[in-house]
Amino acid sequence: MYTILKNIRLIICPLLLLACIKEDFEECDVYLEFIFDYNMEFTDTFESEVEMVDVYIFDAEGYYLFSRHAECATDLIGRKRMVLSEDFTVGTYHLLTVGGLTRNFRFTDIHDGAFQPGITSYKEAKLSLYHETHDVSEEFSHLWFGETTVIEYNADLAIWQVPFVRETNYFQVTLKQTGTTQQSTSAHTSSYTFDIVTPESGAYGYDNQPRIKEQVTYHPFYLVTGTQPDILAEAKLATMRLLADERENYQLIVRRTDTSEPLWNYNLIDLLEKAAYRPDGTPLPLQEYLDRECDWHIAIYCQEGTEEPGPGPGPENPDPGPENPDPGPENPDPGPENPDPGPENPGPGPTNPDSDRFVAIAIEINGWIIWLRDIEI
């Protein structure tokens, strides 16, 4: 009998070691591994970008059980793995995960209430930007939302990856006047400002689709006159997710600060789409591009006064595209050999005899220049 038990132990022990030890994992646990590679770097940058995560656990029928909060630097293994099995019994679970859930955001049920154990379904979850009006001018940090994850816990080692998508954008917008000779001044309140108008309120369901279709206008949280002679205004704005399906309802607007008079506007998604390329120059699907990119640098080149801009794109001046790429690694930004638009290198537009009128000549987006024509307000 002793010999039989000894032989059984010799067989079982190696099997347990194989089942419960994998790489650095020393227990039979469920691990969540957070991934953020849905970016323009096409690499996982979760460890360097996300500082905190909140995991919401729902049962097999989809009803809320409990949540777990973790500071990535101190509470996660390798800054990206969370152990969950200490709270689990054998069974099926649905998980929703949020990264960067700060005071600017809310994760609630569809009625803005707290999750109720056994009552709230994960399909009723809502992730939203907190704002009391339809005008937002506050700076907020980046926010990430994980795909809905279904796990089967069987009291053995399991590693479940949770991919994240970023829900937020930062815009740096510059208004540049071509051909100016004014002297540089220190930064002060600008005569111009910018608005980004969006068709939804920044509230998303468990499937990351918009839940509230209400227009929200984002205003700069930072706005000054530039310190360079040709810069009329510099601004920074933060927005929520951009949606290709609603493209016709996004607007970038230039206004005067003293009267709020709109001087120029353009469809924002149409502009951003011009730069929808991977680092290797191949095109990206528009929604994927809008989700991967988050830092937008937009320069608007304009003229005021009596300058008469020259011709726009045509057979000898084609629009940018795969066969006519704008600045990039192989197509450098404007310089002595590639000058910006100006009196000697004018962009398109009609005659502008009225000094109160405003003509946008070109837009530069993340290094790509789009020539405009017949744009005057």
Judge whether residue 208 has pLDDT over 80: yes
Q: Can you tell me the mean pLDDT for 258-285?
A: 93
* Confidence (pLDDT) at 88: 81
Which pLDDT band holds residue 188 (cuts at 50, 70, 90)? low
Rounded Cα distance, 377 and 363, in Å: 16
Rounded Cα distance, 125 and 98, in Å: 12
Q: What is the pLDDT of residues 76-129, one digit of tens each?
A: 999 999 998 777 888 999 999 999 999 999 999 999 999 999 999 999 999 999
Judge whether residue 185 has pLDDT over 80: no
Which pLDDT band holds residue 338 (cuts at 50, 70, 90)? very low
Q: Can you tell me the mean pLDDT for 253-264?
A: 93
Q: Which residues are within 8 A (CB) of 140 and not within 5 positions of it... i.e. 6 or more apart?
A: 102, 104, 105, 129, 168, 238
* Confidence (pLDDT) at 117: 97
Question: What 8-state DSSP symbol labels residue 149?
Answer: E
Number of Cβ atoms within 10 Å of the Cβ of 323: 6
* Confidence (pLDDT) at 282: 95
Q: What is the pLDDT of residues 139-149, one digit of tens each?
A: 999 999 999 99
The pair of three-digit structure tokens given for residue 60, joined into one six-digit string: 């097999």
Q: Can you tell me the mean pLDDT for 49-76?
A: 97
Strand partners, 375: none
* Confidence (pLDDT) at 35: 98
What percent of the chain has pLDDT above 90? 63
Rounded Cα distance, 167 and 368, in Å: 24
Please report the sign of the dihedral spanned by the C-alpha atoms of residue 300, residue 267, residue 289, residue 193: positive
Judge whether residue 249 has pLDDT over 80: yes
Instruction: Give the distance, in angstroms, between the CA of residue 319 and the centroid of all CA atoms in the same chain.
Output: 27
* Confidence (pLDDT) at 327: 47
Question: What 8-state DSSP symbol labels residue 339?
Answer: P
Rounded Cα distance, 46 and 42, in Å: 12
Rounded Cα distance, 295 and 304, in Å: 29
Task: Give exposure, 157-182, as e/b (b: 16+ Cβ within 10 Å).
Answer: bbebebbbbbbbbbbebbbbbbbbee
Q: Give 373 or 96, the one with higher predicted confidence.
A: 96
Question: What 8-state DSSP symbol labels residue 317?
Answer: B
Rounded Cα distance, 269 and 163, in Å: 25
Please report the sign of the dihedral spanned by the C-alpha atoms of residue 106, residue 108, residue 113, residue 118: negative
Considering the chain, what is the average pLDDT of its residues?
81
* Confidence (pLDDT) at 228: 82
